[in-house]
Amino acid sequence: MVEKDEAEPGPGGGVISEEEAAQYDRQIRLWGLEAQKRLRASRVLLVGMKGLGAEVAKNLILAGVKALTMLDHQQVSPEDTRAQFLIPVGSLGKNRAEASLERAQDLNPMVDVKADPEDVEQKPDEFFTRFDVVCLTCCSREILLKVDHICHKNRIKFFMGDVFGYHGYMFANLGEHEFVEEKVKLSKASQGVEDGPDAKKAKLDFSETTLVKKRVAFCLLKEALAVSWSTEKAKAVLKRTTPDYFLLQVLLKFRTEKGRDPSLQSYAEDAELLLQMRTDVLASLGVGSDLLPDDFVSCCFSEMAPVCAVVGGVLSQEAVKALSQRDPPLNNFFFFDGMKGNGVVECLAPS
């Protein structure tokens, strides 16, 4: 058990109480006391409380951030009951953030959880500067670009993510991010070891570790979505780039123009529109439409709870790493394909 820290307060400010030490014992053992202090001093804004938002909220609350604000102006729909486990039965028609509040608060009483029923599009720029991390889901391309720019300018960690059927993604812009990474420290061979099969193994001792400070730079979302594929170098990269990057561009265009995601209630109409948008989007990016075969439309409707769990786990893990400044972050996209059951990290930025 970790007792109250009487040493000089770290970046987290203040000491860890005995109650907190007991609550976060496993986490403190995993990433250290100073990292937990940073977490418990951090304020997070989470926009969009559908299935993915519920996963992210749950993970960050259990991790022990200081405060989490859930922002969503939409009402609970029948679809929300499939993947959004924070919303109780009988909440149809209620505000999605407010309906999620009680169960979210019950996860960890030490975290200040709030519900904001206002529209993110109506929030002034200075609203976002109150937070250490801003995470957007369910937002239009315009809002994503705007908030990412605000966060970048004010050195706020920015994340976004969404789940479309079997496909999910996460994007991170941490600006100029500093972190520490644990490295194994090799010691000299043990003395007095005789020759034999274990002699070579005994020459290295992997029991000691050291923390190494590092820095990594991230690009703006606007730049990551506007990568030029016309150069020879880019064409070589294109062969290794997951098609989900281009699928994301199509789905963001659909959401921005229709003001919603593809719906099963209008499957035929939306599927036809997605095919048309695929042609337009891929042509504008300078790549062939064969990157997304016609059957892609059958796998991007509604939210799949298992995909929300995977993407939400990765996104919240990256937020924890960013806030605690421990371990190398994913830079800058993570894509998950539920049909194949695999995830891919892509670093897409201007060359």
What CA dihedral angle connects 221, 160, 47 and 104, to 10 degrees?
A: -160
Give the integer Cα–Cα distance in Å for 34 and 32.
6
Decide: 104 and 16 in contact? Cβ < 8 Å. Answer: no
Domains along the sequence of the chain with CATH: 18-175+305-346 (3.40.50.720), 177-217 (no CATH), 221-299 (no CATH)
Q: C-alpha angle with apex 111: 105 to 173, nearest 5 degrees? A: 110
Q: What is the pTM of this model?
A: 0.88
Residue that the structure tokens 């995909």 belong to: 307
Cα angle value 186/189/193 (rounded, 5°): 150
Give the residues across from 14 on adjacent strands.
none
Compute the Cα dihedral for 87, 316, 140, 343 and give only its sign: negative
Measured distance CA(61)–CA(106) in Å, rounded: 10
How far is the CA of 322 from the CAs of 61, 75, 326, in angstroms?
A: 15, 31, 7
Query: Would you write out the chain's pLDDT as a tens digit for each of its 351 residues?
Result: 333 333 333 344 467 787 787 778 777 777 778 888 899 999 999 999 999 999 999 999 999 999 999 999 999 999 898 889 999 999 999 999 999 999 999 999 999 999 999 999 999 999 999 999 999 999 999 999 999 999 999 999 999 999 999 999 999 999 999 998 888 776 655 555 555 555 555 555 556 778 899 999 999 999 999 988 888 888 888 989 999 999 999 999 999 999 999 999 999 999 999 999 999 999 999 898 889 999 999 999 999 999 999 999 999 999 999 999 989 999 999 999 999 999 999 999 887
